[in-house]
Amino acid sequence: MQLLKTLCLMALTAGFFLVAVITAMQAITLAWIASFPEHAPGFDAFERQFWIYSTLAALFLVIDLGLLIRLVEKAKAKRWLKITAVAVCGSFILWVGINASYLILGDVGKVRIVNMATETVATGSIEIRDQQMTFANLARGREKNFHFYVVSDAHYDVTIGFVSGKKLVRELGYLTNGIDYDDTIIIEDDDIILTIPE
């Protein structure tokens, strides 16, 4: 009976450890996808799912650690149990690292670009340091939304090319980390204007 209980405890410990690793890997995948916000139209959903999976991974690791402690007490801390303990601790450190690296990526900013010019924008781009967001065929009155990371001081480098061949280039605003931006860039016939919410 004692052996059966120990085996069941071992199975539970291994099961929770496996689920914790799978959940953590899912969180890593979501964090990687979210690191390219200009290519992720569902960025807010990715970010929400990341925190859900990350929290679940932490929960499973805590449960697994409790089961492991119980198992170690029963089995007198054999060598393979010590290895398992190191693996669990390593996974927990990995989980902390995932969250830390995600936070280090910077604050999330949002920018909306609206075409109020009399002609269609053939091509356009907004560049913030090494992040480039592009769009094309933006008709009058239409808009496009982008997300980006603010990791250091920067500004919007905006380039607009109209169907007529006319081109506008502007440097707009000032961006710094610590602030979640929600700006609007308006395209006019002869200018590009940045509006900042109060």
- Which tens digits make up the pLDDT trace of 43-83? 555 666 767 777 777 777 777 777 667 766 666 555 555 55
Local structure of 192: helix, strand or coil? strand
Question: In CATH, which superfamily holds the domain spanning 107-195?
Answer: Domain of unknown function DUF5300 (2.60.40.2890)
pLDDT confidence of residue 127:
92
Q: What is the pTM of this model?
A: 0.53
What sign for the dihedral angle of Cα 92, 44, 113, 194? negative
**C-beta separation of 158 from 169 below 8 A:** yes
pLDDT at 66: 72
Neighbours of 27 (CB within 10 A): 24
**Section 127-141 average pLDDT:** 90
Compute the distance between CA of residue 111 and CA of residue 28 in angstroms, rounded to an integer.
26
Q: Which amino acid is at 111?
A: V
Cα Rg of the chain, angstroms = 25
- Closest by CA to 128, choosing from 161, 168, 174, is 174
With bands split at pLDDT 50, 70 and 90, how would you rate the model's confidence at 94? low
